[in-house]
Chains A and B, each alone.
Chain A
Amino acid sequence: MNLSKIFIGAFLVNNILLMRFIGLCSFFGVSTSMDTSVGMSAAVVFVTMLATWVCWMLWHALLLPFGLGFLRTAVFILVIAGLVQFVEMFLKKYVRGLYSAMGIYLPLITTNCAILAVTFLNVDYGFNLLQATVYALGVGAGYSLAIILFAAVRERLEDSPISPSFRGYPIAFVGASLISLAFLGFANLFGVSI
């Protein structure tokens, strides 16, 4: 598979949030304002890249050669949890600017299924390191696009007259449905199928 197809597929056609439903907890949880959405997006892009590299190398250098494939789930989730903790401490000590921008979102990332899903899918699709990197970049970009679009919709919803039963989550789901409908239009873009 060529790299641009991998990127378009991850970014638009199979958008991780709106088409594959991975990482929805954070999608509804932090999209209540634009600032939190941008901070969370930055954290997701950053950690997805790191996790992709670390897990890809672990899989090809350690788990596969020694026939330990069955440990994949346990190893990947623990690696991500440890990695997030390490990144948080590192940023807190050495890169204060970045830490204040996305520090509080980092702990939330550990249970963000988008990151773990990317590391699993890299293995399932048999990507090499370059393809995996592009895929991770596409997923991160797609996540950011979807969550920032959705935050804009939710800011408008705040001031709209909505029937009491629909206020909050229900109308947010309906809004997500309409955005997802728009993304359905990207199906088969440049020959990338769902």
Chain B
Amino acid sequence: MTAQRPSRLRYLTNGIIKENPVLILMIGLCPVLATSTSARDALGMSAAASFVLIFSNVVVSLVRKFVQPSIRIPIFIIIISTFVTIIDYVLQAYQPALYRMLGVFVPLIVVNCIILGRAEAFAYGHGVFDSFLDGLGNALGFTLALVILGSLREFFAVGTIFGKTLTPAWYRSAPMLFTIFPPGAFFIIGILKALAVRLKLGK
């Protein structure tokens, strides 16, 4: 058991920094750029995607012994779309404001490369608990990247983070509004990626 412990912990931590799906591997970018206009929306999107990622990883791992390799991708897609439908309806019922904000990006979680990628690359060949850890780690890494991006965009464009005022009044009277628009999202993720390369986060 003692020999296994460090390797199991690695499944959890891998996805957070070293193989961060967004900042290092650069996959699943659509929702990251589209829903990061504020820290709050970023957190909402992360929660929805994390739910799908963790549960689909666990279920894929549970059924992996019964799934023929030739039909595994359609099976993964059915499993993932089941959880996407659940979160779609839950958000619609209990968080209507967030649901309107995220719009088409909630059903689009089904084609998020991170989720299908983890099912294919990890959950199909590992046990249930390891798959859970892997899903959780990648979900945390996704959340981290999305919330950093959302906070920066909100900070520069409005002068707040999570709605909390952090800048003097003179800044808020003429802020860098451009970061809340699509060009700002591309620009800031470019700077963040350059920073990740400079700090050798993926090494």
List residues of A whose CB falls within 8 A of some B CB. Answer: 18-25, 28, 70-74, 77-78, 81, 111-113, 116-117, 120-121, 124, 164-166, 169-174, 176-178, 180-181, 183-184
Contact = CB atoms under 8 A, between A and B. Distances in A.
Per DSSP, are chain A's interface residues mostly helix, strand or loop, or mixed?
Answer: helix
A112 B29 CA distance: 12
A73 B84 contact: yes
Contact of A174 (B27, B82, B186): B186
Given A22-B30, A23-B30, A111 B116 contact: yes
Interface of B: 26-31, 33-34, 73-74, 77-78, 81-82, 84-85, 88-89, 104, 107-108, 110-111, 113, 116, 178, 181-187, 189-191, 193-195, 197-198
Q: List the 4 shortest-distance A-B pairs measured between CB atoms, nearest first.
A: A173-B190, A177-B186, A170-B194, A21-B34
Given A21-B34, A21-B182, A78 B74 contact: yes
Contacts of B198: 165
A15 to B, nearest CB: 9
B82 A22 contact: no
Contacts of A166: 190, 194, 197
Give the most central of A21, A70, A78, A169: most B CB within 10 Å: A21
Given A22-B34, A74-B78, A169-B26, A184 B181 contact: yes
B85 A74 contact: yes
Given A165-B197, A166-B194, A181 B183 contact: yes
Contacts, number: 115
Contact of B27 (A25, A112, A183): A25
B145 to A, nearest CB: 13
Per DSSP, are chain B's interface residues mostly helix, strand or loop, or mixed?
Answer: helix
Contacts of B110: 73, 77, 116
B61 to A, nearest CB: 20
Nearest to B73: A81
A165 B191 CA distance: 10
Contact of B186 (A78, A124, A176): A176
Contact of B78 (A78, A116, A164, A170): A78
A78 B33 CA distance: 26
B77 A170 contact: no
Contact of B29 (A24, A124, A174): A24
A165 B202 CA distance: 13
B76 to A, nearest CB: 11
Contact of B187 (A78, A112, A120, A174): A174
B187 A177 contact: yes
Nearest to A25: B113
A26 B178 CA distance: 25
Given A71-B85, A174-B190, 13 more contacts: A73-B85, A77-B77, A81-B77, A111-B111, A111-B116, A112-B111, A170-B191, A170-B193, A170-B194, A171-B190, A174-B187, A176-B190, A181-B178
A180 B183 contact: yes
Contacts of B28: 25
Nearest to A174: B190
Contact of B30 (A24, A121, A178, A183): A24
B186 A113 contact: no
Contacts of B185: 21, 177
